[in-house]
Chain A
Amino acid sequence: MSNKHEILKIENIRKIYQAKNDELEALKSINLKVNEGEFVSIIGPSGCGKSTLLSIIAGLEEKTSGKIYIDNEEIVGVSRKIGYMLQKDSLLEWRSIYQNIMIGLEIQGIKNKENEKYVKDLLKKYNIYDFRNKYPSQLSGGMRQRVALIRTLAIRPQILLLDEAFSALDYQTRMLVIKDVYRILKNENKTVLMVTHDISEAISMSDRVVVLSNRPSVIKKIYDINFDMESRDPMNCRENPKFSKYYENLWKELDINA
């Protein structure tokens, strides 16, 4: 555990939004290190800048100052080592499931035999292969989100960013999709940075939970989550006595914030 490889480093990230008649400091100074294979969640009050932080790491939003490193190399703009999964699945209804999943490879100009085989293997492994010629409108919400995940994985990112990726789903589906996604991400040994407003979702999936303060936000506290379980998954850890303890702590932390 201690000699784990540090894959992502965020250093003094600051973000000030400029508007016509005002400027708004969303992020004051964010510092975070994430190890390879780690699952880190970010929670915080509404509007504190969680999405902003992920967008900056993904290279979609300019940062005012600060630096981001992947494998000790500074990244600027969109990095191919990062995959970003959004709240809406944004599947393109005019493309089949397979064509939807291939869009990342198409855009990056790396749609070759080897990558196509990799995608086909992913499809088979995660039970989408039989649906590959269907269209998005023929799939359920949970299934669509799984397709969106595979679309993100198709470009073989090392780090995955999830922004409220499950909040559009109804409760029942959400539980299933979370378990499903967790299994896939662990299986593929991905490093994950996830934003959520759901405390139990954060605890059930993460190795660490980062709590942001109100705007302009800084990291208020980082909680280590450790259930000491043999085969932990987002369902069974909820029954662990530690779960409610973590929940209580985090809930208080957010409450003080408000």
Chain B
Amino acid sequence: MRDNKISVERKKYLKKVTRNKIIIFITQILLLVTFIAAWEICANANIIDSFITSKPSRILDTFMNLSQNGLLEHIGVTCFETIIGFLSGTILGIIVAIILWWSNFLSKVAEPFLVVLNSLPKVALGPVIIIWVGAGMPAIIVMALSISLIVTILEILNGFLNTDKEKIKMAKTFGANKFQILTKIVIPANISTFINSLKVNIGLSLVGVISGEFLVSKAGLGYLIVYGGQVFKLDLVMASVIILGIVAAVMYKSVVLLEKLITKTHIIN
């Protein structure tokens, strides 16, 4: 860095790294193009039944049509439900984790319940949730929340309890009270725990929302998928799944971006 002149070996090495990157990228694109082309050709040549597999050109058509028929609204509904479920699950999880960290007694009491709830497939609660909060958007959001909540609590509590004891002791030597230990040591020391939990939760919330939409909804990508399946419009199902994939990727990337932002301002390595 100090030297402006880069050695020949360094140049060679850097060149090799960039070349590798380019080769990997090209291979990925080729793979995707080949797959889509093979799909289209096989469907056209009747090697596969496009009634049950659909085909890329028709998916594209559906895509275009849907853009006029309120696809954006469906995407919007799913995103909205996911973000609300994600935020409430994460915030509630953090609050509960803080309470359990604060009180050793409560955390001991809660432990077996958390373990059981954690291994229970949350989708099984679907019908109960619908009866309790009614069939509609609230049920879907509660579903998303219930899927991410317990994992968040366990993950964050675990991070809190594993905070460097020496750092806590250091704060205590200055007479820190429990609240100060929480805000000055435990929370800042667990920024990476929070981010990891965000990463996991965004995916889980999406799972919760889609399963909720399968059960009750009148809108959203999950609804489109179920509806398309019921009327055997595989083009619609495929298009929705692809969009869902894109939505999931965008949400995940936003968390990663947030992570970069936070690590930049918080910890300099």
Residues of A within 8 A of B (CB): 58-60, 77-78, 80, 83-84, 86, 88, 90, 92-94, 103-104, 106-108, 135, 137-138, 152, 155
- By a CB distance below 8 angstroms, the chain B residues around A90 are 164, 166-167, 169-170
Cβ of B230 within 8 Å of any chain A Cβ, yes or no, is no
Closest to A106 in B: B184
Nearest chain A CB to B268 CB, angstrom units: 5
The reply to whether B266 and A94 form a contact with Cβ atoms under 8 Å apart is yes
Given contacts A90-B167, A107-B180, contact A84 B185 (CB under 8 A): no
Nearest chain A CB to B192 CB, angstrom units: 11
The reply to whether B175 and A108 form a contact with Cβ atoms under 8 Å apart is yes
Nearest chain A CB to B140 CB, angstrom units: 37
**Pick the contact of B175 from A107, A135, A138 — CB < 8 Å?**
A107
Nearest chain B CB to A185 CB, angstrom units: 17
- By a CB distance below 8 angstroms, the chain B residues around A84 are 173
Cβ of B171 within 8 Å of any chain A Cβ, yes or no, is yes
- By a CB distance below 8 angstroms, the chain B residues around A138 are 268
The reply to whether A107 and B166 form a contact with Cβ atoms under 8 Å apart is no
The reply to whether B184 and A60 form a contact with Cβ atoms under 8 Å apart is no
A90 to B164 alpha-carbon distance, docked (Å) = 9
Closest to B191 in A: A94
The reply to whether B169 and A86 form a contact with Cβ atoms under 8 Å apart is yes
The reply to whether A78 and B173 form a contact with Cβ atoms under 8 Å apart is yes
The reply to whether A107 and B269 form a contact with Cβ atoms under 8 Å apart is no
The reply to whether B169 and A107 form a contact with Cβ atoms under 8 Å apart is no
**Pick the contact of B267 from A60, A88, A93, A107 — CB < 8 Å?**
A93
The reply to whether B266 and A86 form a contact with Cβ atoms under 8 Å apart is no
- By a CB distance below 8 angstroms, the chain A residues around B269 are 137
**Pick the contact of A103 from B164, B169, B184, B267 — CB < 8 Å?**
B184
Nearest chain A CB to B234 CB, angstrom units: 51
Residues of B within 8 A of A (CB): 164, 166-167, 169-176, 180, 184-185, 188-189, 191, 266-269
Nearest chain A CB to B185 CB, angstrom units: 7
The reply to whether B188 and A83 form a contact with Cβ atoms under 8 Å apart is no
- By a CB distance below 8 angstroms, the chain B residues around A77 are 175
Closest to A59 in B: B175
Closest to A105 in B: B174
Nearest chain A CB to B44 CB, angstrom units: 59
The reply to whether A58 and B173 form a contact with Cβ atoms under 8 Å apart is yes
Nearest chain B CB to A27 CB, angstrom units: 19
The reply to whether B174 and A86 form a contact with Cβ atoms under 8 Å apart is no
Nearest chain B CB to A115 CB, angstrom units: 13
A230 to B188 alpha-carbon distance, docked (Å) = 48
The reply to whether A94 and B267 form a contact with Cβ atoms under 8 Å apart is yes
Given contacts A88-B166, A106-B184, A107-B184, contact A83 B173 (CB under 8 A): yes
Q: Which of B164, B172, B174 has the most CB of A within 10 A?
A: B174
Nearest chain A CB to B187 CB, angstrom units: 10
A84 to B269 alpha-carbon distance, docked (Å) = 28
Closest to B175 in A: A78
Closest to A95 in B: B188
The reply to whether B267 and A86 form a contact with Cβ atoms under 8 Å apart is no
- By a CB distance below 8 angstroms, the chain A residues around B188 are 92, 94
- By a CB distance below 8 angstroms, the chain B residues around A59 are 175
Q: Which of A104, A137, A152 has the most CB of B within 10 A?
A: A104
- By a CB distance below 8 angstroms, the chain A residues around B267 are 93-94, 135
Q: Which of A58, A80, A90, A103 has the most CB of B within 10 A?
A: A90
Nearest chain A CB to B190 CB, angstrom units: 11
- By a CB distance below 8 angstroms, the chain A residues around B191 are 94
The reply to whether B172 and A78 form a contact with Cβ atoms under 8 Å apart is yes
A sample of 10 cross-chain residue pairs with beta-carbon separation below 8 angstroms, ordered by A number, consists of A78-B172, A80-B175, A86-B166, A86-B170, A86-B173, A90-B169, A103-B184, A104-B174, A107-B175, A107-B180
**Pick the contact of A60 from B173, B180, B189 — CB < 8 Å?**
B173
The reply to whether A107 and B176 form a contact with Cβ atoms under 8 Å apart is yes
Besides the known contacts A59-B175, A108-B174, 15 further A-B residue pairs in the complex with CB atoms under 8 A apart: A78-B175, A80-B175, A86-B169, A86-B170, A88-B166, A90-B169, A94-B191, A103-B171, A106-B184, A107-B171, A107-B180, A108-B175, A137-B269, A152-B173, A155-B174
Given contacts A103-B171, A107-B171, contact A135 B268 (CB under 8 A): yes
Nearest chain A CB to B186 CB, angstrom units: 11
